């Protein structure tokens, strides 16, 4: 079966989905923006830099704090989400952990921030995914404008622009169709393999 990692699946199929259910998390912060290269445990600091902004946003997502998550979006992204009556917060996860890593500055008011997100897969085994958050400096501070995550192993990351929800919906639809196509292809291949190599009867 075509498999997608937790963060990749969450990014494309959950983020900014209308009517998304939420549950409040009870755990403490899993990361803080002390250094761009790594995150440690402790309380979330004020979002005064690209890494700190991403940390505050991810912690809000992890704990199901929709108010903070929405506040950390760029102005245009907030306006678009409000106009479409959509949420940015998927169900909270007390088992999730994240780290905020390298920061690449883009001009004077933009940055790309790497992160990892670890949570339990359906088999209750830890699964770690990587993503790059696109942030922009606005009068309020650094804010989230989009995210790029690798959806299918070995292929280029898919960019979701929170400021262009119409394009994001098209990206989401493409991923759904591609997942279905790959699953059907794998099932067809398995059926063909079974037909070509039937099990030999057991001799007694």
Q: Say what the pTM is.
A: 0.70
What tens-digit pLDDT sequence spans the chain (204 residues)? Answer: 444 445 555 555 444 443 333 443 433 344 433 333 333 333 344 557 999 999 999 999 889 888 898 899 999 999 988 887 776 666 778 888 999 999 999 998 999 999 998 888 778 889 888 889 999 999 999 999 998 887 777 778 888 888 987 887 787 788 778 878 888 887 787 777 777 666 655 555
- Phi then psi dihedrals of residue 189, to 5 deg: -65, -40
Write the burial class of residue 164 (CB in 10 Å: 0-12 exposed, 13-18 middle, 19+ buried): middle
Q: How many CB atoms lie within 10 A of CB 116?
A: 16
What contacts 132, CB < 8 A, 6 or more positions away?
Answer: 112, 113, 114, 115, 147, 148, 149, 157
**Is residue 47 a contact partner of residue 75, using CB atoms and an 8 Å limit?**
no
For each of the domains in the chain, give its residue range(s) and CATH number, in order of start. 6-21+31-190 (3.10.450.100)
């Amino acid at each position: 079966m075509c498999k997608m990692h937790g963060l990749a699946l969450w990014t494309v199929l959950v983020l900014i989905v209308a009517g998304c259910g939420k549950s409040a998390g009870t755990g403490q912060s899993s990361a803080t923006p002390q250094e761009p290269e790594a995150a440690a445990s402790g309380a979330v600091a004020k979002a005064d830099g690209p890494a700190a902004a991403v940390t505050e946003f991810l912690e809000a997502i992890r704990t199901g704090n929709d108010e903070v998550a929405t506040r950390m979006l760029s102005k245009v992204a907030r306006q678009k989400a409000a106009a479409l009556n959509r949420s940015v917060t998927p169900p909270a996860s007390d088992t999730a952990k994240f780290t905020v890593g390298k920061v690449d500055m883009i001009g004077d008011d933009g940055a790309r921030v790497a992160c990892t997100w670890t949570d339990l897969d359906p088999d209750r085994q830890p699964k770690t995914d990587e993503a790059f958050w696109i942030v922009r400096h606005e009068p309020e501070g650094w804010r989230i404008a989009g995210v790029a995550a690798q959806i299918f192993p070995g292929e280029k990351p898919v960019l979701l622009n929170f400021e262009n929800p119409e394009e994001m919906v098209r990206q989401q639809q493409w991923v759904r169709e591609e997942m279905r196509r790959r699953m059907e292809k794998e099932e067809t291949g398995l059926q063909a393999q079974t037909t070509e190599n039937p099990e030999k009867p057991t001799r007694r």
